A = this chain, B = another copy of it.
Amino acid sequence: MIHHSLAIEAVIIAIVIVTMWSSVSNFISIKRIIIGRPMRLKELHAQHNKLFWILALPILSADLYSSVSYGPESGITELAGLGPDARWIILPITVSTVILLAILIVSYIMGVLAYPNGGGAYAIAKDNFKRPLPSLVASASLLVDYILTVAVSVSAAVQAVASAYPAIGPYKTALAVLCVVVLLLVNLRGVAESATIFAWPTFFFMGCMLWLIAAGFLDEFRHGFVQPQTPSFGTVPEGLTLLLVLKAFSSACSALTGIETISNAVPIFRDPKQKSAVKTYLALGAITAVTLLGFAYHLYVKGIAVNPANTMLSQLAQSYFGKGPLYQIIIWSTFIVLILAANSTFTGFPQLSALVASDGFLPRALTNRGDRLGYSNGIILLAGVAIILIEIFHAQTNALIPLYAIGVFLSFTIAQFGLCMRWMKVKGRLWKTKLAINGVGTVVTAIVAMIFAVTKFVDGAWIVLIVLPVIILFSVAVRRHYNQVAEELRIDPSRMKPQAHRVRTIVLVSGVHRVVYHTISFAKSLNTDVTALFVGFDEESIERMKKKWEEWGNPFPLVTLRGEFRSLLSPISQYIGQLEDKEGHPDHIHLILPQFIPRRWWHHILHNQSALLLRSWFFRNKDVVITTVPYHLRK
């Protein structure tokens, strides 16, 4: 009766926890095994060989191009309730999507011309708006969408494989989580070294898709194009509403996410950078348009219906090639490309969050690089939230789509509007044409974002519309806090010179043994006013301690306290409270605690770690300097 899926997930979660823990507690030895040796800055730079545009194309296009595998399908899914008569509507929808793609690509080419060093929506907004709000909206929506890209791409990847192997159906969630964990580990290791390796699977997948489309035309030519299973064209099915068409359109638009990648990455191109980037944009746009149109057309002509257990791509491939090796190649290349799309996010998300954090709008911990120069906190955050989303939505792509893309289109809008501002300010050659292009881009992307928000609101977009303002308010609060702290810490070095204070030192002793010997010897080396403190839980143990201390030669005056329960905290905090209240109280109260350091990790649970609890309590509640003298157990 044990549920295997749950057991698998438990194992995966255990791996995640171990990883987190090893990266938090800096257990270098364990980390080395999992994460690999640290990378040198020089290696990083050496690996940044500039790329020829044809090689850059697949590397930068995994995110955009992979979404063709689920975009049209999620559009058709919205119309499925109306029966086969509604299926033809995907054709005009796909045409609209391709027009939108063209507008976006032309607009983004303007971005490449404006920012030869790469300009994401956040950078463009920061550069062109005086107030921080637009850039915060851009960063919040991009961060949310990066997370959703991982969840959606990995879910779609697992669904592709589950279409070929229905037996793994019940374990989809577990497998999707496993994929994210693998991506997490790979990215904590750092993957920059192998970037060009990623080019080939995407090329291969592009080839597969084009070949599938060609095979389709061949097949249709043989069947005389309109086949018996082709649903009717042009009939208006009962129940068709504008809302439904817009909903289907916005779902289909999920195929356009990832378009901004190239404009962020202009510096990695071989010279002339901007020209190369523009070529790449044009080539990618053409391939994507052909794929979307061809794919949607074949889905319609073959009369493919929605089946949650078998993706439409899989059904189409099956209808041409059966379940043989050609079909397997298509399934696995889809899987690999979708995983690569998720992987590209593991670079984008931590870089953006580090950029925003270095401006003071997110916790500074996100700017910490790990040993392998990845921003490990950002990577862990991304994987963690993506796993939670996959768990909540049970790895169902279509359930995640309503949350997706709204953030992308918001950030598109801000970037376009920022570029308009720029052209008006900077002017330059042909600035009016550029302004017109980005003006159209702004309006179109704003409309699409609004269509998204309205049509998908109840299906899940409301979550994003709540989360975005929360992130933005958090960013503002973070920045304010950092400013206040900086203000509070400022001193005038010429007036405030450090000088010796009166320090009252208290050494906590639990008996007369090796650890206490060690600690008392340390206290003897300081030039402060030292008292030894013993807490007993009955008169007998207190008397015994007093006697032992006497026999030991009274190294320091001994104060004994009686604790009523087995707790050290309340007697010690009362005693310290009394010292603080005294007239002429010391400048610093200084508590010395001995601490056991066990030799094996599991021995930690065997020692009460009262030192740890006392320390955390006193830090929060009193102004007490705390010294911990470690004693490393040999056994």
Contact = CB atoms under 8 A, between A and B. Distances in A.
A520 B498 contact: yes
A616 B625 CA distance: 17
Nearest to A398: B1
A497 B630 contact: no
A525 B525 contact: no
Interface stretch (A64-72, A253-261, A499-507): A499-507
B627 A625 contact: yes
Interface string A356-399: 00000001110111010100000000000000000111101011
A25 B501 contact: no
A628 B3 CA distance: 48
A308 to B, nearest CB: 11
Interface in A597-623: 597, 603, 605-609, 613, 615-617, 619-621, 623
Contacts of A528: 525-526
A7 B523 CA distance: 53
A12 interface: no
A569 B368 CA distance: 12
Contacts of A627: 590, 625-628
A478 B522 contact: no
A609 B521 CA distance: 30
Given A493-B548, A619-B628, 16 more contacts: A26-B613, A27-B620, A367-B566, A368-B608, A482-B606, A485-B635, A488-B514, A491-B512, A497-B555, A498-B520, A500-B524, A502-B525, A503-B522, A526-B526, A623-B630, A624-B630
Interface of A: 1-3, 6-7, 24-28, 38, 40-41, 363-365, 367-369, 371, 373, 391-394, 396, 398-399, 459-460, 478, 481-482, 484-485, 487-491, 493-494, 496-503, 512-515, 517, 520-528, 548, 551-553, 555, 564-567, 569, 587-588, 590, 595-597, 603, 605-609, 613, 615-617, 619-621, 623-630, 632-635
The 7 closest A-B pairs by CB, nearest first: A527-B527, A1-B399, A498-B520, A484-B635, A627-B627, A489-B513, A500-B524
